[in-house]
Structures are given as C-alpha cells and as structure tokens.
Structure 1
Amino acid sequence: MDKNILGTQIVTQIGIIVNDIEKVSQSYADFFGIEKPEWFWTDTVDVAQTEFNGESSIARSKLAFIDGGQLQIELIEPDHNPSTWREFLDEKGEGVHHIAFGIKGMKEKIELLNRNKMPLIQKGEYTGGRYAYMDSFDELKVLIELLENDN
C-alpha cells in the first residue's frame, strides 16, 4: 500500500448512522450540554448528483452536525433508497460509518485509493464542495470519506 495516500493525517469528522436523528441528536446535546443541532435533508439527486455503486441514486438522508472542536460528529439518518448509508444501517445497524478527511484533488485521491484496493462506493456534491466514500473497510475497519471544499 502507498504511504500517506491522502497527504494528511487529520481526521475532521466521524459519521454515525442512526435510526432516529431527533433522539440521537438530543442525546448528544444533553451529553455535551449544548443546544440540540437542527437536522436537514441532503440535496436531491438533480443537485447532489449522487452516485451509489456507479449508478445515479435518488437516496437522501437527514444530517445533523455537532461541533467537537477539532472533530465534527455527523449524524446520518438515511431514507430507504439505495445508498451506502442505507446499506450500512440494514447490514450492520447503527454505529460509526466513516471517518472523513479534508483533501484537495478529489479525482486523483479517488484514483490513488482505487489502486490501493479501496474502491469508490458513493459520491456526490454539496453546497460548496463534494464528497466520496471509499470502501476501506477490509483494511481499516471503517469507510473513508473524502471531503473537498471549493474555497
């Protein structure tokens, strides 16, 4: 395996798949003594251009973010359409889905990870950037999410 493929060692986010975002976000708010974060839907496929396993997907999810200083916690409640989120919830239940890294050069990083037996599972756009989930589970026991912001 190539060394330091991403060019960073800084984990910026942990993504957790949940069944009930209202309940879990309230639990985190109580635990940290903060306001409960508001959740929102991911963009529709026409905006997000979501692809799962190489095919367009109308999958969406509810997202809530908890700022943990250096590390952000992302809560994800998937809808019932095919996605890495739905697949994880159906097969493994609730729990840690991914760790995320901020990167530059999305296309090149995806190619590097593919060459290192960590294939692309899902990708899409969000306001101000793009994401890609890579199947690093066999090697790292968690998926990797690449986040590339435009600014």
Structure 2
Amino acid sequence: MNRVDHIGIAVASLEETLPYYTDTLGLTLLAIEEVESEQVKVAFLDGGNVKLELLEPLSEKSAIHQFIDKKGQGIHHVAFGVTSIQDRLNELKVNGVRLINEQPKQGAGGAQVAFLHPKSSHGVLYELCEKQKGETK
C-alpha cells in the first residue's frame, strides 16, 4: 500500500451534499463522473493530503443505495493507492484475506480498483486503487 488515496463517502444526493463540502468546508471540486458498472455518480474533492470521493447511487441496484438503506449516509470505504494491483490482490489472497474482487475492475477516474471484504479487515471496507499513468483523480 503506497498511501491513502481517498475516502469514499456515501451520500443520497450530490446536488444537496456538494455545497457543504465546497462552500462550507472550502474544498475544491476536482471532477464529477458516473461509473455505470457500479451504478454511482461520484464527485472527487481535494482534501489536501487525501481526496474525498462522494458516492451517489444511480439506482436501487447500486451497492451504495443498499449501504445507505442499511447504515445511512457516511463513510463507506478507505482506498489505498497501489502499484501492480493484481500482484497485491494475489499476495493478500495468499495471506488469507477475503476479497470481494479477485480481479481488478474499472473504477472512477480511469483507475483499476478492487475491494477487500470487511470481514477480513476488522469491519472496514478497503479498496485498492491503481491509477493509470497521468491520472490525478
């Protein structure tokens, strides 16, 4: 794990939530995009040494929708920046870590991502995130 890349926060509505982060807290909005495969709309904010990723569900099938239904809005995951994501996944699996994704998939900002199961991580959902060269989000 190279660094904490971002903290994912589940929100019911970006439209309602973004002004708190940009106007009240004074954070800079970096980008907004939709990730169809996950049925979410995401907004990246510059938090200085770590980004915040606000996640709004686009459908009831979204894992973020289910998370909000169960737990309400709030911190969803912590993402670690990695290199060679498949190698990291293989190492974790060999070390007995339960994986949600055994193969990386396309995530926001052009990154390859994979999640570790919270039952193997003491109740915390961790994401591994490998940025493509030149990506800053």
How does the TM-score come out when normalised to structure 2? 0.78
2:10 and 2:27 mapped to 1: Cα distance?
Answer: 21
- 8 Å CA contact 1:12–1:102 kept in 2: the answer is yes
- Aligned residue in 2 for 1:54: none
> Does 86-95 or 109-118 show the bigger shift?
109-118
Q: 2:51 aligns with which of 72, 95, 99?
A: 72
Q: 1:25 aligns with which of 18, 26, 30?
A: 18
2:113 and 2:50 mapped to 1: Cα distance?
Answer: 17
How does the TM-score come out when normalised to structure 1? 0.71
| Structure 1 outlier segments of 4+, above 4 Å | 34-38
1:121 and 1:84 mapped to 2: Cα distance?
Answer: 14
SS of the aligned residue for 1:19 comes to: coil
Opposite residue 124 of structure 1, the aligned amino acid is: K
SS of the aligned residue for 1:120 comes to: coil
- Aligned residue in 1 for 2:100: 120
Deviation of the 1:114 alpha carbon: 3.1
In structure 2, the CA distance between the partners of 1:38 and 1:109, relative to structure 1 (3 Å rule), is closer
How many residues get paired? 130
Deviation of the 1:105 alpha carbon: 1.4
Structure 1: tracts of 5 or more residues without a match: 1-5, 45-49, 51-58
- Aligned residue in 2 for 1:101: 80
Deviation of the 1:129 alpha carbon: 2.8
1:146 aligned onto 2:128:
yes
2:8 and 2:28 mapped to 1: Cα distance?
Answer: 19
